Amino acid sequence: MTRKNVFWATLLIFCMVLVLATGCGQPANAPEGEGEGEGPSAGAEVVKVGMVGPLTGGAATYGTSVRNGVQIAIDEANENEDIPGVVLELNAEDTEGDWSKAANAFSKLIEQNKVNVIIGGVLSSETEAGGPIAMGGQIPAISPSSTATGLTLGNPYLFRNCLSDEVQASQLAEYAVTELGFEKFAILYTNNDYGVALKNAFEETAKELAEVVAVEAFMDNDENFKPQLTSIQTKGPEAIFIAGYYTEAAKIAQQALEQDLEVQFLGADGFYSPVLMEIGGEAVEGAIFTAGFHSGDESAVVQNFVNKYRELFNEEPDMFAAQAYDAARIVIAAMKSKGTSAEQIREGLAETKDFPGITGNTSIDEEGDTLKDVLILKVEEGIFNRIR
């Protein structure tokens, strides 16, 4: 190694340290910092809770929301000493949005960190890959957002806390036909497990009750939807069901407006984020979608969560954060009722009945799936209002 190389190496390391230092200084990016100050009280047993999700890469925004939601639930439990003599510790692992790396994250949490329960994965493919590992390690896992059909079947250690795609999409299709009186639908879906499941369910119900004139696909992180919208426009639908997440939905609405396509936009819980209005602006006004969570809900638990989220992370929570918060609270409730060992948590999770979550009353059925109420929300003057 020449002297010049040493110089550069030192410079780069220096830069990285600098980045580390500045990065930590920002409260929005270092939520873990908040919890550290308290420290585990003397003699308390430390129980580790794992979290798996994409913290970097194209899906980072979802994974980060989930981590934030879990963080709030765990901090609350520690502050209130919900479980006597126990301090919970969050161990978050990144997947880069790649399911094979999610499998590594599951293994690492189970074997190295010795967590007793895992909240994750976030994307369905992550949970698919991690599920067998959780079962092998006999550690329960609860996904706050993986909606793939039949995901939890045959795996007693795998649970989830999210709205079923089938239920959401078919209820919305029914509502759109019977209450709103639409007859001609177009579907624009994101080509991943979430979008495909929603599309299938919506298409089925909508075809029974009315007519589906166009079905078009797009990819995650796409930005330009003009060709699909132009194709849809020629078919003349009255409403477009967007089976996808908020960023894409906002851009679709925006681009539809730009090409004079005036239709009603319909969606599912993937719409639930303030980003929808930030990017969509005028264009998403009037959009109607199903959700499990509504931040305008007056109840104390919801307001407590929304305020804490704003305070800690300086932004509005999205549905990922809300479902993750509930998933974590369901885990904490299971610990309270049964105990903190992995097996006890699993039993507790399996017996969850009418848990009063911020995403509605939640029960877990014998297959590990969730039963929840579906709300229908509408964007009115830049905020979400509950219409059913």
**Between residue 348 and residue 377, which ones bind other proteins under the rule CB under 8 A?**
none
Is the CB of 9 or the CB of 387 nearer to other proteins?
9
Residue 225's alpha-carbon distances to 126, 194, 216, 251, in angstroms, are: 27, 18, 10, 8
Distances, alpha carbon 148 to alpha carbons 49, 74, 184, in Å: 24, 27, 27
Give me the least distance between CB of 353 and other proteins, in Å please.
29
Looking from the CA of 196 toward its CB, the CA atoms found within 13 Å total 9
Which of 258, 311, 351, 380: binder of other proteins (CB under 8 A)? 258
Interacting residues of 380 by C-beta distance below 8 A, sequence separation 6+: 285, 286
Site for other proteins in 5-24 (CB under 8 A): 5, 8-9, 12, 16, 19-20, 23
Give the one residue of 193, 203, 238, 369 binding other proteins; rule: CB under 8 A.
193
Q: Between residues 108 and 336, which has the closer beta carbon with respect to other proteins?
A: 108
Distance CA 166, CA 202 (A): 8
Q: Which is nearer to other proteins, 187 or 210 (CB)?
A: 187
Based on the shown chain and the rule CB under 8 A, indicate whether residue 279 belongs to the binding site for other proteins.
yes
Identify the residue among 159, 182, 202, 218 touching other proteins (CB under 8 A): 218
Instruction: Say whether residue 93 binds other proteins (CB under 8 A).
Output: yes
Residues 48-77 touching other proteins, rule: CB under 8 A, are 55-58, 60-61, 63-64
Q: Does residue 234 bind other proteins (CB under 8 A)? A: yes
Cβ density class 124-153: b for 16+ within 10 Å, e for less: bbbbbbbbebbbebebbbbbbbbbbeebbe
Q: Rounded to the nearest 5 degrees, what angle is found at the Cα of 162, between the Cα atoms of 184 and 328?
A: 155
Is 278 a residue that touches other proteins (CB under 8 A)? yes
Contact positions with other proteins (CB under 8 A) in 133-192: 133, 136-137, 148-149, 191-192
CB of 387 to other proteins, least distance (A): 25
236 binds other proteins (CB under 8 A): no
275 makes contact with other proteins (CB under 8 A): yes
Give yes or no for a contact between 295 and 302, defined as CB atoms under 8 angstroms apart: yes
* Residues of span 312-331 touching other proteins by CB under 8 A: 315
| The one among 226, 310, 386, 388 contacting other proteins by CB under 8 A | 226
Measure the CA–CA gap between 359 and 227, rounded to whole angstroms: 36
Q: How far is the CB of 17 from other proteins (least distance, A)?
A: 10
Rounded CA gap, 161 and 358, in Å? 12
81: left (phi over 0), alpha (psi -120 to 50) or beta: left
Smallest separation (angstroms) from other proteins to the CB of 9: 6
Torsion angle in degrees (nearest 10) through CA of 201, 202, 204, 206 = 160
**Full DSSP string of 41-91:** PTTPEEEEEEEEE-SSSTTHHHHHHHHHHHHHHHHHHHHHT-STTEEEEEE
Supply the minimum distance, in Å, between the C-beta of residue 208 and other proteins: 23
Residue with tokens 């929840």: 372
Stretch that binds other proteins, among 203-211, 275-283, 322-330, 345-353 (CB under 8 A): 275-283
Closest to other proteins by CB, 69 or 195: 195
What amino acid occupies position 373?
D
Shortest CB 222 distance to other proteins, Å: 8
In the complex, the smallest distance separating the C-beta of residue 291 from other proteins, rounded to whole angstroms, is 18
Which residues inside 108-137 make contact with other proteins, applying CB under 8 A?
108, 110-112, 124-125, 128-129, 132-133, 136-137
